[in-house]
Amino acid sequence: MAIVRPFKAIRPIKQLASKIAALPYDVMSSEEAREIVQENEYSFLHVDRAEVDLDSSIDVHDKKVYEKARENLDSMITDGEYFQDETPCLYIYRQIMNGRAQTGIVFCASIDDYMNNVIKKHEFTRADKEQDRINHVDYCDANTGPIFLTYKEDQIASEIIEAWIENESKRQPTYNFVAEDGISHIVWVIDNEIIINEIIDLFKEIDYLYIADGHHRSASAVKVGLKRRASNPNYTGDEEFNYFLAVAFPDNDLMVMDYNRVVKDLNGLSKDQLIEKLKEKFNVTKSSNNESIKPSKKHTFGMYVENEWYLLEAKDGIFNAEDPIDSLDVAILQKNVLTPVLGIEDVRTSDRIDFIGGIRGIKELERRTNKDMKIAFSMYPTEVSDIMDVADICEVMPPKSTWFEPKLRSGLFVHKLK
């Protein structure tokens, strides 16, 4: 049973929504964020990456950065760039990318659901990244970026939720703009108490929610909530700090893109030696006319090395098809190529490997390999069902398994913790 809670969102005035809404803080570097805000004084990056307003010599995790984030958020509110809804609402958030739409419900999720695994995870988190967002949420006293959740569409409750969304989205939207990357963002406010309660009751019939993207943000939000509980031993459970900002989409709406790999060297091997080793586990075929290879099915990989493309097809027996993790392409590549052949023991910490989201295109692999890397692997995208299968057995995906597009914009909804 998933808990859905309406809330009084702090959100942009209509004429500034397109300027305020920003990509998530973790998909860009500090330098990229500084460039963006030079062209857009209203960007929410002034809150989510507040170091942009401080000297570049200051560490991004310095206390001054979190204090500046709070100051900037407070200023945006007091200056009238933001306002708060008078009553608790739910919100419909639709994104359209290349003609394809995904539509979800914006609400506050329960930290207890997270701890009790009603909200399921599929990734490990890193303590340093958690601490950064813990500080950010704590200082801002707010959730500033929504957690990207999904749920299984093949449930009766989900069909009715979809019907409600379809009905409500026939109204004039509150926000409707196309961002600089060509992605449309459309928002409707649900302030009808009868409809809100109906949607809340329907989500109670959904067994689980799954984190698609935002594991560090959700873990941090929960830890801030627990910290507030410890400071308020007489808490009732109804306080805002018991909940965090989220958007839930049906799984059939989502698109997972390939998350590709590039490696700095061949671990002392020549190209011919590398290919001979790979032939032990894969059928290796050179690309005709050297056309780039973007895998069209599971258990196949493109490999670009020394200006040539090859197709790798996993041989029978090198993975367990019944194991949700062992059968993942990212796991097959890790266990049969990256570690034993290229000598990368831990992809989380190795400085010899980098990861490139499919949104950048297959040519980015060629560019990086010809610039500062030696070999690239193009991947078939992980499927949403794979993520759910792994989460359902309380396991985690290998690192850098998923790349979701489009990304949820930060700044359209802010949830205050008190």
What confidence tens digit (pLDDT) does each residue in 252-288 have?
A: 999 999 999 999 999 999 999 999 999 999 999 999 8
Q: Which two tokens stand for residue 393?
A: 């057995």
- Say whether both 285 and 246 belong to one domain: no
Instruction: Decide: 167 and 228 in contact? Cβ < 8 Å.
Output: no
**163 and 289 co-located in one domain:** no
Strand ranges inside 222-374, DSSP E: 243-250, 256-257, 259-263, 282-286, 300-305, 308-314, 353-357
Note whether residue 388 is domain-resident.
no
- Average pLDDT of 32-51? 96
Q: 248 and 266, same structural domain?
A: no
User: Looking at residue 282, which CATH number applies to its domain?
Assistant: 3.30.1760
Judgement on whether residues 62 and 118 belong to the same structural domain of the protein: yes
> Looking at the domain assignment, is residue 148 inside a domain?
yes
* Predicted confidence (pLDDT) per residue in 137-161, tens digit: 999 999 999 999 999 987 777 888 8
The pTM score is 0.91
In-domain check, residue 241: yes
Look over the chain and give the mean of its residue pLDDT values, rounded to a whole number: 95
Q: How many CB atoms lie within 10 A of CB 117?
A: 11
Q: Is the pLDDT of residue 124 over 80?
A: yes
Examine the domain organization and report whether 232 and 334 are in the same domain. no
Assigned domain for 391 exists: no
- Distance in angstroms (rounded) separating the CA atoms of residues 333 and 387: 17
> Is residue 336 assigned to a domain?
yes
> Are both 152 and 53 inside the same structural domain?
yes
**Domain enclosing residue 92, as ranges:** 4-255+405-416
Q: How confident is the model at residue 172 (pLDDT cuts 50, 70, 90)?
A: very high
Please tell me whether residues 58 and 75 are part of one structural domain.
Answer: yes
Same domain, 321 and 243: no
The answer to whether residues 110 and 69 belong to one domain is yes
Q: What does the alpha-carbon distance between residue 329 and residue 334 come to, in Å, rounded to a whole number? A: 8
Q: Does residue 399 form part of some domain?
A: no
Instruction: For residues 411 and 376, state if they share a domain.
Output: no
Note whether residue 367 is domain-resident.
yes
Q: What is the DSSP letter of 108?
A: E
Q: Contact at 8 Å (CB) between 47 and 73?
A: yes
Give the model's pLDDT for residue 348: 85
Q: Are residues 79 and 125 in the same domain?
A: yes
d(CA 408, CA 185): 9
Q: Residue 179 burial (CB < 10 Å; 0-12/13-18/19+)?
A: middle
Contact 147, 221 (CB under 8 A): yes
- If one counts the domains in the chain, the total is 2
Give the pLDDT band of residue 104 (cuts 50, 70, 90). Answer: very high
In this structure, is residue 312 part of a structural domain? yes
The two tokens of residue 83 are 């306002």
